[in-house]
Every structure is written in structure tokens, then in C-alpha cells.
Structure 1
């Protein structure tokens, strides 16, 4: 993407510093923003009827996040997006972004590549959950985010891995 096209996006963005615990989008909200993480770790999660939280994804710097299904369909999000650490982000209004990609083929191309990567990532995660045990998923997470154990609490890592903190302790003990 050219600097001119990048500047168009950048000029429609707002930089924000957020403390840990900040909710970007809440379950039930109809989102209208896209976020780029510059610093920090965030997660998306769903809350089951039992009240249990299930972490869907962890996000690190230089990741674009949003509740895309809700954003595209203008429906309430099923997920909540939360800062797990103090974070710095850029916030982009999705309506303004749509105006940009409708009039700029470079931005449209960037958006298409991003959506392709998102589809591939979701497929990869689905296969990982189906085929890997807890130890393999933990090692894979550490490969993706090498210092994850120093960034967020053990119970958050366990939630992401769909195991209990006790199970995570056992996995770590075996390693």
C-alpha cells in the first residue's frame, strides 16, 4: 500500500491508551469500530449461560481486531473484547473505512488480503482445537507469543486453551 493510501486510513484513526480491564466492545453491542493493537495483549471471549467465560482469541501488537460478523451484519456481537494488559490502540470508524475502500483500490486490496488471512487463521485455530491436546496447544501458544507467561495471568492462558488453571499447572510441570 502506498504511503498516501496508508495516510488516508491513519488520518481517520484515533490513538488511545487503555488500562488493563478496559472493554472495547461488549457482548450485545452493535460494533462500529475496528481496532489496531500497537501495544499490549487483548482477548475476545463469550460468556456461557452458566456465567463461565470462554476465551476465543488472544491478540498481540500489530493485530487488527473487531467483532467482524456483528460489524458486517450490523447485529449485536456475541463476543466481548477486553484489554488484558495496559494497551495502546488505534481506533478506526468502520463506516469511514468502508468509504475509503470503496474509493481506493489499494485500501480495498489491503482489506481483501486481511479478510483472507482472517479466514485462514480461523481455519487453523479450528483444526488446532480438534487435533491437539492441551500440551500441544500450550506449546503452540508459546511459539506464537513467546513471553505469554509473563504477560497475562495463568487463568487467562488456561481459558484460552480451554483447560483449567490446575491443568495448565500440570502441563507446565511436565515441561
Structure 2
């Protein structure tokens, strides 16, 4: 189900936005359409925006010293994505962000982010909740990487995002799970036999 930015904000705040609050906030956003395989954020360059995915899929990844990419996050409809540390600290990004299909996003710059926090009181709370949730999800993912085997992590991922396999290449799913594509193929074969 496609979720609008208004629904996303109200769900996290557990309250409705006034028309004035919503219009003030959306006036600070820049709609952008990016093509499949187009890169939005580059490691070693400052990430100047937070992005809300309206339609499409993005993924963030880092490249290790051997040139191998490691998927960190997928951003589907209704998700926010960025290199948050770079955005907040104005330092070079650790992650790259790339479109996996044509993607429509709403971008908020650092200046407009600060303006939203200052001019619309609900948004300071909204972004605090957003950042808290991102931190909690990150900690949860780290814990699951140590405590669950790859099959359980795979099952949890497809339960959370049922259309993942239709929209994301298998090698990126494997990368996100921290396994090789061949291992993911074996897991999928074993599950189909059960």
C-alpha cells in the first residue's frame, strides 16, 4: 500500500497535522524523480538531504577496501533514507544511495530541515521519533545478525517486505543478509521443499 508523507508523519506522531502545518512542511520539500541505477548520495561527499520515498525503491550501500558493495538498507514507499550521520554532521558520507527502479522522492535540505524544526513544533518531535526508530532498527538488525541464522533473517525480511523479491535483485538481498548469492539460492531452494 502506497503511504503518503502525511500518513507517514501522522502515524509516527499519533496525531493529525493541521492544514497549515502540512502546507508549511510540504513547501520545504523538493520533489525529485530519479532513474533506475542513478546514484543519489555518494560516499566521501556530504549528504545534503533527507529523502522520503513516494514511489520506487532505493538502497544504501558501502564499498569496502576490496571494492565489494554491502547493502545496508532498502528504502521502499513510505520510508525515509539518507546518510544520516553525514546529513547531521556535515561530514563526508559513508554510504552511497542508488535507485533500483525509477523512483519518486521528496527531498528536504539541511536548511529546510532546520526551518521545519524551528517553525513547526510537531516536526521536532516527528524527526526525533524518526531518528530514534532508525537507531532502534539498526540495533535490532545488528543483534539479529549475531543471533539468527541466514534463513531466519531472510524469512523476517520477506515477511516485513513481501514484494522484495520482485523488486530487488537477489544478489542485493544476499548482500543485505550478509551472505553470498549462492547461499541465498540454497536457502530459497530448501524453503521451497518444505
Same fold, judged at TM 0.5 (above): yes
Task: Give per-residue Cα distances to partners, 1:100-129, cap 9 Å, x unaligned.
Answer: 212321111111111121121111111111
Q: CA deviation at 1:53?
A: 0.5
Question: After TM superposition, where is structure 1 displaced by more than 2 Å over at least 4 residues in a row?
Answer: none
Query: After the TM superposition, which of the residue ranges 130-139 and 108-117 deviates more from structure 2?
Result: 108-117
**Secondary structure of 2:106's partner?**
strand
Q: Output the CA distance in 2 between the equivalents of 1:11 and 1:103.
A: 12
Residues paired across the two proteins, number:
175
What is the distance in 2 between the residues matched to 1:7 and 1:144? 31
2:99 counterpart of 1:99: no
Write the mapping of 1:108-147 to structure 2, written as runs, cut at 5 A. 108-147=124-163
Indicate which of 76, 86, 111 corresponds to 2:92: 76
| Aligned counterparts of 1:80 and 1:98: Cα–Cα separation in 2 | 23
Work out whether residues 32 and 95 of structure 1, in 8 Å CA contact, stay in contact via their aligned partners in 2. no
Match of 2:6 in 1: none
Secondary structure in 2 matching 1:8: helix
Partner residue, 1:158: 174
Cα distance per residue 1:49-90 (max 9 Å; x no partner): 100001111111111111111111110001001111121111
Aligned to 1:45: 61
How big is the alpha-carbon RMSD for the aligned residues of Structure 1 and Structure 2? Answer: 1.1
Instruction: Quote the offset at 1:6 in angstroms.
Output: 2.1
2:48 aligned with 1:32, yes or no?
yes
Q: Which runs of 5+ in 1 are unaligned?
A: none
Give me the whole-angstrom Cα distance separating, in 2, the residues matched to 1:62 and 1:147.
14
Q: 2, 9, 23: which is aligned to 2:39? A: 23
2:25 maps to which residue?
9
Give the alignment's TM-score, normalised by structure 1.
0.95
Q: 2:70 aligns with which of 47, 54, 60?
A: 54
Instruction: Write the distance in 2 (CA, Å) between the matches of 1:60 and 1:82.
Output: 12
TM-score when normalising by structure 2: 0.86
